[in-house]
Chain A
């Protein structure tokens, strides 16, 4: 018999500023799931934003400064960095390395961080104890595959795969499922007219599926979709995949 249990492996959680400010529940649910999968979660209090908003809006210098800060913060331990958002994960994984001049120490650090960065659901897909899920009556949910999950991160299939492992669950996809929901960060404000039409179309297609919840791994898309559905006078059916999974595994934590 062992005298002491082996230490659980550690992971960083990069919570993202959107979840931090607006949807902390999704962040707590991410922690609960990671713990269920046997990880100790390290949440550095000095984390802020990944820098994607200015980066995509034409402001490279601020993004560079934020990237430097975030890389430093997430490099004191050589452990995986888990991000509960495909688009923020992609900023760190795909765009940070391109920000720095080749062969500099910054580029080396960014590259190392890139290799350690994972989108939450993709990371969890083969690590959850599916045998422990609670039983639920038949239920229909709609999956919104974010553009970052589909393209830059290529994790949309993992999102689907994780849902397929759940009991009694019917997964629906909207018409034009590959199309952007119209969020695009500052695009929603700068090109508001087009963004509005894209959002309206997406919500219409999502609602037409008749799923009880709209699930996704990107809170940006879900904020866009949810706030539009509320604008139309209906209840917000959006839920982060992590929050849905937490329910399925019967994990309770105080909100």
Chain B
């Protein structure tokens, strides 16, 4: 059972090392992104274009998915549909068992995190190893990713050095990032050779050619999808785009928003398994299309923009809450603003609704989003939906707003209330508790603005009459 979100927040805030790691990393990423988008007009134009592309794709989801399925099959890619995580896991397990697979090498994929694939496969005695350096690090420490792009961003170099020494028995000179990467590379190379299956995510799937795009920097994505004899790609159904012409816009937005890069080191376009006469590439390619609540979201006019997300992570990098508590505190697959929007929709308010509270609606996420998702508005809308769907009719909060509404809907009552506050202004109630944790209580003025304006016009009239 998970601890309460508020408890996890307190714990994260008390960890000064963690806070320093996040603040430093987020400031660095924000600055890099800023430099990549230094031409504001160009950025706004590109963003408009990207938003339109994504919006169009979401509107035409069924049509594009049918086309994608057909084209992939034409290319020799086997397509599977999974309604939820459980189904997706079973499909993947089934393929693995058909090949007697014992070892799986994984490229970075948040969708596989969403369905908790590693745990599932390991229960069936299939060994899963993450090949993205960040993912490898968190896996080594039995953790989950704390960021969707940089899974191990919560750790600094010294902590990773210690981890490698403890878990792998390999010591590296302190502060030497290259040495650490060298260790990871050595170990992973070996695993690539022996893996029975490679599993990856998908950044974009092109419907009219049946092509899967994989954006990455380490080359592990390319190896995971080419070295093992079988490649399984898992994608959320919203990742489909109509054609390759729209790809450059999205690619530019994605890499600049995520890491401030103009282009990533690798852009993989996978269109088929190994063809006759070809010397390398997997003999089988499978595409698993994961719904897990997405089709429902696409039907909801007010919430469907959730699916426009291209998973760049800019919203979390710009979020003052995420910057302070980090990804683990959210306790969800997707942290930060996009997580606060996605998780309650795919897992329900009962399980993930509390995520919605950790937002001051400051708007920094929406401003940074490369595809113009109005994240604050989505959070606000979901707060309304959560309240409307709440089964408890009376709670402290409901009662407070009930009284508040009564007062504010009756101007006379409202004026009496401010008068009362003015009369009892010196009473130090120290309530509400949360406020006084780091602030004194504001004191009501001796005379409200309403009253002072009234008195002012009285004296004015008096003067005029004289």
Contact = CB atoms under 8 A, between A and B. Distances in A.
- A interacts with B: yes
Interface of A: 15, 17, 19-25, 27-28, 31, 43, 45-49, 51, 53-60, 62, 65-66, 69, 147-148, 150-152, 178-180, 182-185, 187-200, 223-224, 227-228, 230-231
A62 B404 contact: yes
A200 B438 contact: yes
5 contacts: A66-B408, A188-B435, A189-B433, A194-B13, A196-B437
Contacts of A22: 442-445
Given A54-B405, A62-B401, A180-B360, A190 B445 contact: no
Contact of B321 (A20, A28, A194, A200): A194
B10 interface: yes
Contacts of B449: 15, 19-20, 24, 27-28, 43
A23 B433 contact: no
B439 A180 contact: no
B438 A62 contact: no
A48 B408 contact: yes
B22 to A, nearest CB: 12
Interface string B341-378: 00000000000000011111111101100000000000
A46 B411 contact: yes
Nearest to A59: B401
Given A31-B453, A60-B387, A199 B409 contact: no
Nearest to B386: A58
B380 interface: yes
Nearest to B388: A60
Grouping DSSP codes into helix (H, G, I), strand (E, B) and loop, the B interface class, with mixed when no group exceeds half, is: helix
Interface string B414-433: 11001001100000000011
B445 A227 contact: no
Contact of B360 (A62, A151, A182): A182
B331 interface: no
B363 A147 contact: yes
Given A193-B9, A199-B438, A49 B408 contact: yes
A48 B434 CA distance: 25
B438 A231 contact: yes
Contacts of A66: 405, 408-409
B171 interface: no
A108 to B, nearest CB: 21
A24 B357 contact: no
B448 interface: yes
Given A60-B384, A69-B409, A230 B364 contact: no
A16 B178 CA distance: 57
Given A43-B450, A191-B357, A191-B359, 20 more contacts: A21-B422, A22-B445, A28-B449, A28-B453, A28-B456, A45-B415, A48-B414, A56-B380, A58-B384, A59-B401, A66-B409, A151-B364, A151-B366, A178-B364, A180-B320, A180-B362, A185-B360, A193-B10, A194-B9, A194-B358
B383 interface: yes
Contact of A192 (B386, B408, B437, B447): B437
A197 B12 CA distance: 12
| Max chain A Cβ within 10 angstroms of own Cβ: one of B383, B414, B452 | B452
Interface of B: 6, 9-10, 13, 320-321, 324-325, 356-364, 366-367, 380, 383-384, 386-388, 397, 401, 404-405, 407-409, 411, 414-415, 418, 421-422, 432-435, 437-445, 447-450, 452-454, 456
Contacts of B356: 58
Nearest to B434: A192
Given A20-B449, A231-B439, A193 B409 contact: no
Contacts of A24: 445, 447-449, 452
B361 A189 contact: no
Contacts of A187: 357, 359-361
Contacts of A185: 360-361
Q: Which 5 A-B pairs have the closest CB atoms?
A: A184-B360, A192-B434, A180-B362, A58-B383, A227-B439
Contacts of A20: 418, 448-450
A43 B450 CA distance: 8
A228 B357 CA distance: 22
A56 B361 contact: yes
A230 B13 CA distance: 23
A65 B447 CA distance: 27
A48 B383 CA distance: 24
Nearest to A179: B320
A94 to B, nearest CB: 10
Given A22-B443, A24-B452, A231-B440, A193 B6 contact: yes
Contacts of B445: 21-25
Contacts of A28: 449, 452-453, 456
A179 B363 CA distance: 10
Nearest to B9: A193
A21 B421 CA distance: 8
B234 to A, nearest CB: 33
B360 A195 contact: yes
Contacts of B439: 199, 224, 227-228, 230-231
B435 A193 contact: no
B434 A54 contact: no
A60 B256 CA distance: 37
| Max chain A Cβ within 10 angstroms of own Cβ: one of B361, B397, B448 | B361
A66 B405 CA distance: 8
A8 B302 CA distance: 44
| Max chain B Cβ within 10 angstroms of own Cβ: one of A15, A47, A51, A192 | A192
B407 to A, nearest CB: 8
Contact of B367 (A23, A54, A151): A151
A213 B6 CA distance: 35
A227 B387 contact: no
Contacts of B363: 147-148, 150-152
A69 B411 CA distance: 10
B357 A192 contact: no
B442 A227 contact: yes
Contact of A48 (B387, B411, B452): B411
A17 B383 CA distance: 23
B410 to A, nearest CB: 8
A196 to B, nearest CB: 4
| Max chain B Cβ within 10 angstroms of own Cβ: one of A45, A58, A66, A192 | A58
A22 B363 CA distance: 26
A179 B26 CA distance: 13
| Max chain A Cβ within 10 angstroms of own Cβ: one of B320, B397, B422, B432 | B320
Contacts of B383: 56-58
